[in-house]
Structure 1
Amino acid sequence: MGRAHMKYLANGEVEGAELAAVCESFPPNLERARKSLPDRVACFSEPEAMFKSGTIDAILIATPHYFHPELAIAGFEHGLHVLTEKPAGVYTKQVRLMNEAAAKSGKVFGIMYNLRLLGLYKKLKDLVDTGELGEIRRTSWIITDWYRKQSYYDSGAWRGTWAGEGGGVLLNQDPHQLDLWQWTIGMMPKRVRAFCAFGKHRNIEVEDAVTAYVEYENGATGVFVTTTGEAPGTNRYEVAGDRGKVVIEDGKLVFWRLRIPEPQFNRENRPGDPEAWKIEIPVKEGSSDHMPITQNWVDAILHGIPLIAPGEEGIKGLTLSNAMYLSTWLNDWVELPIDEDLYYEKLQEMIDKSKRGESH
């Protein structure tokens, strides 16, 4: 992703932004960047040197997950605006420190949640926010079309390890869905019970199959099912309220709209079942490209435009994945907000057992 961001910035595709410098710790990659970029773009092998150089006003972080918070914090401390790739980090304790540093700095902080730009999810959020669905009663997301072969995990010693990645399908493939799950309905669960299977389908340390059940403060419930070992996979998101149900699948948003809200129908003891209209709601497709998020971040810096994906919100989706891991490790329910110190302790235990990768 770093190369992709570098390319569109170097081509001047983001209005108001200029690629001033790149930082790459792997010498062959740095040399490749140096040869492909204009002479005006400075090249660094160490972040601290780049931060102190005076050549930049902002940074876009595209590194392994563990480094996102520490680089962001360093950037804020040097008076730089920050945009980070997802996920926000590996554990919420680290990300909370990053959010505190962002608030203290007063700089613009964004996260690369580019799927918030898709019309399907924007429309669902609008239906929820405007009350069209009524009070949320149930959510369900089956996201199993992340098929990954063993060769994918074998492509790097850090892949599929606690020390190298800090997690599996939840941390690498699902950050967008975990963000959209809470963003579209506007609420987080109050408690989580999850069952993560570690190395169920592939020879890896981390989870490759998950089934999670959540409960919300208003009594609603939710289910999240995901895996990298299923083919063919499914991507189906349902949100049910007391005024109907929305299903997002195969690029379509279908709204089963009740003519009479279910509580009213029940209260009035009407005959039969509630009448529902099946409506395929047209949505503007939107773009899932990364560049528009970068453009929005630059516009926020230069013109005060509201961020589509504020960096501080990255902790929400990460809280969900951390809660799912912790619930599995403890074989019990986990209340939100989670015990961040306990989670970090359990994660370190997994890292200590890690056979491959690099410890952090």
Structure 2
Amino acid sequence: MDSMRIGIIGLGNMGTGHAKYLVRGDIKGGVLTAVCDERQERLEWARQELGENVRTYADIDEFLRSGDFDGVLIATPHYSHPELAIKAFGHGLHVLIEKPAGVYTKSVRLMNEAAAASGKVFGIMYNQRTNPMYQKLRDLISSGELGEVRRTNWIITNWYRSQSYYDSGGWRATWAGEGGGVLINQDPHQLDLWGWTTGLKPKRMRAFCHFGKHRNIEVEDDVTAYVEYENGATGVFVTTTGEAPGTNRFEVTGDRGKIVIEEGKMTFWRLRVPEPEFNATYRGGFGQPECWKCDIPVPSGDGHQHTGITQDWVNAVTKGTKLLAPGEEGINGLMLSNAMLLSTWTDDWVDFPIDEELFYDKLQERIRESKTTKIAGEYTTLDVKGTH
């Protein structure tokens, strides 16, 4: 296959952005041929701005049956990602979903199973994986340069959101509309990178989520989580939308030193002698290994981001290359956020893999009590359509 025909589901902020760069021809071998959104004003925009070669659909089933495309890019509300992806796989289509993979791992696991059964190329829009900074961190850890990872610490609090932001849509920051708060809306990239860069597998977690602590909302807006990994390492994740100025600092400590990413820079405090070796041989009482502060060179910019992931997906379909962000891996970061909520709701430790049925039941309780009248996961919900 020399080129790939692409359809987009959802013409909100993200879907519109994807449509624009596809029509500009930014994706080599990728051609936008159809879009779907139930809102007539968005379809009218598509007719005027995307050209006569892009067909428009208001009905999702008609769209998927059309045969106008080889794969779909799903840019709809969180709950609908697994449902729409499963439908697309059923029609023999390749799929690229926006983040997050879904709201709860039970549905995402079903999506992953459908992807495997279809044999189609399945990707997720984890565009931060194209960022040279995080690619370099992953390389330094996987190559053994940092040694065995002992501790991770990510403070990501520069997500400031005012009350007016939350008031701008009745679906925002509700269990029925978005399925969560800062963890599901702002943090999916960091939760993915936390595991992708370090290669660590979580064993158990204890978390403390605060709901509506800083704003008049029903979901979490302040979170502190502690995780223990299978190799004995530990980690902390702190996030909120209620602090200004915020911080974005990712620190990873290994037995050969420490790497810190902050303010667009990467610093490696590298031990000349690994800590275990120093500890086994040093006899001077007070003292510590010689340490070199190294500014790690990283290519400028933040990678190709959304176009990079889309191009990667198209290449995988047309050339058979390996995906940078396989859709099946979307469950990993989501399980971390699900575990944080479940730990808070049960006031207890949560083991990995989490109890998916228990999380689902707890989530349904909150959806029934949600202040929004929208039905979670329903693609036909009017003012949620195509948003992100």
Among candidates 208, 230, 235, match of residue 217 of structure 1: 230
Distance 1:217 1:37 in 2: 50
Count of aligned positions: 360
Among candidates 121, 129, 151, match of residue 134 of structure 2: 121
Shift of 1:270: 4.1
Whether the aligned pair in 1 keeps the contact of 2:131 and 2:305 (CA below 8 Å) is no
Matched with 1:250 is: 263
Deviation readout 1:170-205 (Å, 9 max, x if unpaired) = 000000000000000112210010000000000000
State, as a whole percentage, how many aligned pairs show the same letter: 67
Worse overlay, 91-100 or 36-45: 36-45
Deviation readout 1:126-171 (Å, 9 max, x if unpaired) = 1111101111100000000000001111110000100000000000
Matched with 2:78 is: 65
Distance 1:329 1:30 in 2: 41
Shift of 1:284: 1.3
Alignment of structure 1 residues 150-161 onto 2, 5 Å? 150-161=163-174
Among candidates 64, 86, 93, match of residue 80 of structure 1: 93
Among candidates 294, 308, 330, match of residue 310 of structure 2: 294
Matched with 1:342 is: 358
Whether the aligned pair in 2 keeps the contact of 1:125 and 1:185 (CA below 8 Å) is yes
Q: TM-score, normalised by structure 2?
A: 0.92
Shift of 1:333: 0.3
Matched with 2:7 is: none
Matched, 1:105 2:100: no
Distance 2:317 2:219 in 1: 38
Matched with 1:93 is: 106
Among candidates 135, 140, 153, match of residue 140 of structure 1: 153
Q: TM-score, normalised by structure 1?
A: 0.99
Among candidates 281, 286, 289, match of residue 274 of structure 1: 289
In structure 1, stretches of 5+ residues that fail to align are none
Output the amino acid matched with 1:302.
T
Matched with 1:235 is: 248
Give the match's secondary structure for 1:279. Answer: strand
Matched with 1:50 is: 63
Whether the aligned pair in 1 keeps the contact of 2:133 and 2:298 (CA below 8 Å) is yes
Output the amino acid matched with 2:57.
F
Shift of 1:46: 1.6
Matched, 1:199 2:212: yes
Matched with 2:26 is: 13
Distance 2:371 2:52 in 1: 42
Matched with 1:189 is: 202
Distance 1:147 1:166 in 2: 19
Give the match's secondary structure for 1:34. Answer: helix
Displacement over 6 Å in runs of 4+:
none
Shift of 1:7: 0.4
Shift of 1:289: 2.6
Shift of 1:30: 1.6
Shift of 1:28: 1.4
In structure 2, stretches of 5+ residues that fail to align are 1-13, 377-388
Deviation readout 1:235-291 (Å, 9 max, x if unpaired) = 000000001000000101100000111111111124311111000000113415311
Matched with 1:320 is: 336
Output the amino acid matched with 1:255.
F
